[in-house]
Chains A and B, each alone.
Chain A
Amino acid sequence: MRHHSDNHLIDWLWVVLLALTLGGSWLGESADPGLALALFVAASIAIKGRIIIDHFMELKYANPTLRRLMRLYFYLIPLLILLVYLSHLYNIESPL
């Protein structure tokens, strides 16, 4: 059965998720606000989301539409983080 071979991987992925969380908190508290922090936050959301969706929810092996929709969520949020950051950087104002 698939989950026997996945058991070890799941343990490691838990450690990766915890490391990303603690590393992110350290960076969030110590680093100056800027592109590096925005990039780290965007990337860590994308990576964590992908791990949970593919391996914890096991959507890697499920219906492709469902899998793509869930993954899309974790492409859009990081993209929005970077877009809003860049809009502030270049002082882009709302056309409304």
Chain B
Amino acid sequence: MTEFGLLFCVYFVARFYNPASFQSGPAEINVMAGTANTVMMISGSYFVVKAVHAIRDNQSRLALRWLFLVLLTILGYATIKSLELQWNLAHGITGRSGIFFTVYYYLTLTHMVHVFWGGIALLWVIFRTHSGGYNSHSHEGLESFASYWHATDLVWLVIFPLLYLLR
């Protein structure tokens, strides 16, 4: 969150000095892709909560199902992001298209890297849950992943309106 705090400072400074770019920029990027990815992030966060609740009830099979749904949201996010980047390139939108787009790529690609790390952590948590590594008394690994994932979601909940909606 601290790292992204600095990146958001960059956004606000850039916006302060380049109001015209930031007012016209959101109309040129794909709001539907941003919305779909927000649905993926929020739903992933919700499924993680359900997995934690299930493991607290000692229902590891149920927790596993929720974790697979989280994996599905990450795959959905990756697919949407890939389509969005292709759409951008088809419309001539690159990191050199102007200050708004530089900040857009800077923020969204950094967030994507964090989602990727979260995906790797999720695979480990799924493996541990499947092999009976967590129960109602001991599931710190799952809770650590949950905290990381919620933070990744929180960051996206700021990025999405700043870049896709605010004109």
Residues of A within 8 A of B (CB): 1, 3, 6-7, 10, 14, 17-18, 21-22, 24-25, 27-29, 33, 37-38, 41, 44-45, 48-49, 52-53, 55-57, 70, 73, 77, 80-81, 84, 87-88, 94
B139 contacts the other chain (CB 8 A): no
What are 12 A-B pairs with beta-carbon distances under 8 A?
A: A3-B53, A7-B53, A14-B43, A17-B42, A25-B164, A27-B165, A28-B161, A28-B167, A33-B167, A56-B45, A84-B16, A94-B16
Q: Is B65 close to A, CB under 8 A?
A: no
Hey, which chain A residues are within 8 Å of B53, CB to CB?
Answer: 3, 6-7, 10
Q: Which residues of B contact A33 (CB under 8 A)?
A: 23, 167
Q: Is the CB of B39 within 8 A of A18?
A: yes
Q: How far is the CA of A13 from the CA of B160 in the complex (A)?
A: 19
Digitize B49-88: 1 where CB-to-A-CB distance is under 8 Å, 0 elsewhere.
Answer: 1101100100000000000000000000000000000000
| B interface residue numbers (CB < 8 A to A) | 1, 5, 8, 12, 15-17, 19, 23, 26, 31-32, 34-35, 38-39, 42-43, 45-46, 48-50, 52-53, 56, 146-147, 150-151, 153-154, 157-158, 160-162, 164-167
Whether A45 contacts B39 by the Cβ 8 Å rule is: no
User: What is the predominant secondary structure among interface residues of chain A facing chain B?
Assistant: helix
Q: A29-B31, A41-B166, A49-B158 are in contact. List 12 more A-B contacts (CB 8 A).
A: A7-B53, A10-B49, A17-B42, A21-B160, A28-B164, A45-B161, A52-B150, A56-B45, A56-B49, A57-B151, A70-B1, A87-B16
Report the nearest B residue to A34, measured CB to CB.
B167
Give Cα A10 to B43, complex, Å: 11
Contact in complex: B46, A14 (CB < 8 Å): yes
Residue in B12, B32, B167 whose Cβ sees the most chain A Cβ within 10 Å: B167
Chain B residues near A41 (CB-CB < 8 A):
161-162, 165-166
Question: Measured between alpha carbons, how far is A17 from B153 in the docked complex, in Å?
Answer: 12
A residues near B12, Cβ cutoff 8 Å: 80, 84
Q: When the two chains form their complex, are residues B166 and A37 in contact, meaning their CB atoms are under 8 A apart?
A: yes
10 tightest A-B contacts by CB?
A28-B165, A33-B167, A14-B46, A25-B35, A41-B161, A88-B19, A57-B150, A17-B42, A3-B53, A21-B38
Q: In the complex the two chains form, what is the Cα distance from A55 to B53 in whole Å?
A: 12
| B144 shortest CB reach to chain A, Å | 12
Give Cα A13 to B147, complex, Å: 17
- Residue in contact with B31 in the complex, picked from A3, A28, A37, CB distance below 8 Å: A28
